[in-house]
């Protein structure tokens, strides 16, 4: 059998030299094999090698495409491209929030005795006052959290990581909505956990699909975002929450409910209200306040508190003492609530700008969310659209970053609305809208 590597090298050279251009579709493997006089299995290894080198991307049902050479993040984590308008990461900041926070934290910094409390290491359970404050802060009508079931981490990522690590051992299966928060993919890889994609419909996670997948090969747990799902912006209806809760109870499965964006839809009940014994809630202050001064919170059913606490310790995911003291004050005195109210208004305003600028395009977005999902008009592909946007100074995220199975990513991009000033957002959205209507051929030849 012919060695596939020299053929892969030659094709890689053609891509590097621009003889095969970004966005171009490679011939189907059988045709490529005929052209090269090689076996189809060798052609298949050539393509697999190019995928491994990150030069091409295989999209189920569409073919294999040359990837753009512009830096395209498929991690969904990290730094936005240098100098680009950041529509990739959501870092909301309300005007004047630093002043409000400074005022609220002054007593902590002025009083050595008060600060002293924040200088010590923090156990996952924090201390009684912090747990009581967090319980009051997170509870809502119909859903009261027992303070003794609350644990603290540095941020939401760590809260999610600890909850998953507590439930799922290396080699076991975690069910995840087929499009999901990219960090969960990284966490699962790090923890040696196998992610199993779960079907979704217009109401989010499909409970029948969850039951079917679990019956075929049991899952150990589920990670989901019932409220303002990232990236799709979907929120489960009450009926859907009840249906998912029924499946969890029936199969004695535990869900990790990510509520990091839940504060933008404050009226929505959590899944945990419907399935309190089968849900671990992960939440944080990073979006409500700021990633630089944040606190992660995990609320677990009583029988799982020890396991989550052990996972926080062994993962080294504890909060710092200062963050715990500062954030407890900011939650207790209403500062977080004031900033949250400003961000709810801000998100709604940004969605209005989005609807105006992208009118006529296929956009899915909740009017309360800080993100939107744009399905690209043919013949755009997400990879080339992201590169084209970058060449126009805008960073966005391709669907593949969120796809649990990368070859099955839809032809779409996520637009994060929170980070730039509204005027910058408005002009960036106008540029994206023009680009989407222009088409890849016209962009390439410009
Ligand atoms: C769905 C979701 N969960 C968790 C997080 C992470 O939260 P934190 O920034 O507190 O680590 C994010 C951040 O974007 C997110 O989108």
**Residue range 284-325, pLDDT digits in tens:** 999 999 999 999 999 999 999 999 999 999 999 999 999 999
CA 70 to chain centre: 22
Query: Does residue 364 sit in helix, strand or coil?
Result: strand
Provide φ and ψ at 55, rounded to 5°: -90, -30
Distance 263 CA to ligand 1 centre (A): 12
Ligand 1: does its nearest atom lie under 6 Å from the Cβ of 230? yes
Overall residue count recorded for the chain in this entry: 446
Which is it for strands 254-258 and 221-224: parallel, antiparallel or unpaired? parallel
CA of 414 to the centre of ligand 1 (A): 15
Cβ atoms of residues 64 and 57 within 8 Å: yes
Q: What CA–CA distance (Å, rounded) separates 164 from 180?
A: 14
Mean pLDDT of 331-358: 98
pTM: 0.88
32-70 tens-digit pLDDT = 888 888 888 788 888 877 887 778 887 777 788 888 755
* Pocket of ligand 1 contains residue 155 by CB under 6 Å: yes
What residue's CA is closest to ligand 1, atom 14? 90
Q: How far is CA 97 from the centre of its chain?
A: 24
DSSP string of 95-129, one letter each residue: TTHHHHHHHHHHHHHH-HHHHHGGGS---TT--HH
Q: What is the pLDDT of residue 96?
A: 95
| Whole-number percent of the chain with pLDDT over 90 | 78
Task: Tell me how far apart the alpha carbons of residues 107 and 198 are, in angstroms, rounded to a whole number.
Answer: 48
Q: How far is CA 297 from CA 4, 31, 147, 424, in A?
A: 51, 54, 11, 33
- CA distance linking residue 243 with residue 175, whole number of Å: 16
Ligand 1, from 154, 181, 226: best to mutate by most atoms within 8 Å of Cβ? 181
Which atom from ligand 1 is nearest to the alpha carbon of 296?
10
Q: Are 64 and 58 in contact (CB under 8 A)?
A: yes
Contact criterion met (CB below 8 Å) for 250 and 287: no
Is 156 touching ligand 1 by the criterion CB < 6 Å? yes
Mean pLDDT, range 152-167, rounded to an integer: 98
């Amino acid at each position: 059998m012919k060695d596939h590597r020299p053929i892969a090298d030659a094709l890689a050279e053609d891509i590097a030299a621009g003889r095969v251009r970004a966005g171009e579709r490679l011939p189907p493997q059988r045709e490529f094999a005929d052209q090269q006089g090689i076996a189809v299995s060798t052609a298949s290894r050539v393509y697999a090698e190019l995928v491994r080198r990150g030069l091409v991307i295989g999209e189920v049902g569409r073919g294999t495409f040359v990837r753009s050479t512009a830096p395209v993040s498929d991690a969904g984590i990290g730094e936005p491209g240098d100098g680009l308008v950041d529509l990739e990461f959501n870092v909301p900041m309300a005007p004047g929030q630093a002043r409000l926070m400074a005022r609220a934290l002054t007593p902590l910094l002025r009083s050595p005795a008060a600060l002293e409390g924040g200088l010590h290491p923090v156990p996952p359970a924090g201390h009684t006052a912090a747990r009581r404050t967090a319980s009051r802060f997170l509870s809502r009508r119909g859903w009261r959290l027992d303070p003794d079931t609350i644990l603290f981490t540095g941020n939401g990522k760590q809260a999610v990581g600890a909850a998953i690590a507590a439930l799922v051992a290396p080699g076991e299966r975690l069910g995840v909505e087929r499009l999901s928060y990219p960090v969960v993919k990284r966490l699962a890889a790090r923890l040696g956990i196998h992610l199993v994609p779960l079907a979704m419909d217009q109401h989010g996670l499909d409970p029948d699909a969850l039951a079917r997948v679990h019956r075929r090969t049991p899952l150990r747990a589920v990670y989901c975002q019932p409220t303002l799902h990232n990236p799709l912006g979907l929120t489960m209806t009450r009926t859907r929450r009840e249906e998912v809760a029924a499946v969890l109870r029936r199969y004695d499965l535990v869900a990790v409910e990510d509520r990091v964006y839940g504060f933008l839809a404050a009226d929505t009940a959590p899944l945990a209200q419907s399935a309190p014994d089968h849900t671990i809630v992960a939440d944080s202050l990073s979006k409500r306040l700021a990633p630089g001064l944040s606190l992660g919170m995990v609320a677990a059913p009583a029988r799982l508190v020890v396991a989550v606490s052990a996972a926080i310790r062994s993962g080294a995911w504890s909060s710092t003492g200062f963050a715990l003291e500062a954030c407890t004050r900011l939650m207790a005195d209403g500062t977080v609530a004031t900033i949250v109210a400003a961000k709810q208004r801000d998100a709604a305003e940004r969605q209005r700008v989005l609807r105006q600028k992208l009118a006529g395009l296929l956009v899915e977005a909740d009017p309360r969310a800080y993100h939107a999902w744009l399905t690209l008009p043919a013949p755009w592909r997400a990879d080339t659209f992201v590169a084209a946007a970058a060449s126009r100074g805008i960073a966005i995220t391709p669907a593949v970053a969120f796809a649990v199975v990368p070859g099955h990513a839809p032809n779409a991009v996520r637009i994060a609305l929170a980070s730039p000033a509204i005027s910058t957002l408005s002009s960036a959205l106008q540029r994206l809208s023009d680009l989407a209507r222009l088409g890849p051929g016209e962009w390439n030849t410009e």
